[in-house]
Amino acid sequence: MNSHRYCVIMAGGSAPAAYLRMTYDRFAGILPRENILVVTLERFAGTARILLPDLPPENLLLEPFGRKTAPCMALATYTILTRDPEAVLVATPSDLVIRDEELFARTLAEVFEYVEDHDVLMTLGIVPRSPDVNFGYIQVKEGKDAWALDCPLQVKTFTEKPPQELAEVFFRTGEFFWNSGIFLFKASVIREEMERYIPEVTELFKGWEAGIGDPTFIERAYAECPKISLDYGVMERTSRAWLFPAKFGWADVDRL
């Protein structure tokens, strides 16, 4: 296993607890276990420790307040960079169901290889099965045949959950994918893009090189942190957004 590959599991606490264990086990078969980090709220720390007794204590990152995914990713990225400046990471919610684990692992390996060689922010895009209004959509620049492609594609637009009429238009075009919520990038690259596009978050983590492991430092940063998602704060603004078409079965817990 590549020692520079990491996983960040974003466990906000809304999903059934068992899914955290399933997500951890999924990535433990792909990455070194010591390179898997879980970010969750302080009030869920006990549950996380019970579910993941083999998780190193320093790999459980606790948020004092819920601030959405951008602050969560800042905390995780700075933590990983103190350990490994060459880190490449996959970030995933804890509430996803993957139906073809072998294909998922092969897809992840291919995308890891790509982002190790390119300074991009990659999202796994799911080929939609219907014009579902419950998912975010990502349009790519390659046009109507994009669904059939099996290579990195350049992102054109992000759209949050659309109304039915618009979702049907997206579905007919063949150039929109569901946003899986799974991202891959070098830690150094996501750091650059966060510091460029969401300084209102990253400025609060100044001094992270020495302070990131200190709960007082983290609580002070989170106290002033705005609630902002990684999609809205960074992915919709950066010129480095790319998408890899994912063909494995995928669902989030809320849609089962």
CA distance 73 to 68: 9
Per-residue model confidence (pLDDT) at position 147: 86
Span 94-123, mean pLDDT? Answer: 96
CA distance 195 to 204: 11
Per-residue model confidence (pLDDT) at position 206: 97
Percent of the chain at pLDDT above 70?
97
Greatest C-alpha distance within the chain = 51
Domain boundaries, the chain: 5-255
CA distance 54 to 172: 46
Per-residue model confidence (pLDDT) at position 251: 87
Span 156-164, mean pLDDT? Answer: 94
More confident residue, 116 or 16: 116
pLDDT greater than 50 at residue 156: yes
Per-residue model confidence (pLDDT) at position 143: 81
Span 137-141, mean pLDDT? Answer: 95
pLDDT in tens, 200-217: 999 999 999 999 999 999
pLDDT greater than 90 at residue 118: yes
Confidence of residue 16 (pLDDT cuts 50, 70, 90): confident
Domain covering 5-255: architecture: Alpha-Beta Complex (3.90)
Span 50-72, mean pLDDT? Answer: 96
Residue matched to tokens 């290579």: 151
Mean predicted lDDT score pLDDT of the chain: 94
Per-residue model confidence (pLDDT) at position 204: 97
Span 95-108, mean pLDDT? Answer: 94
Residues constituting the chain:
256
Span 105-122, mean pLDDT? Answer: 97
Q: Angle, nearest 10°, between helix axes 215-224 and 69-83?
A: 150
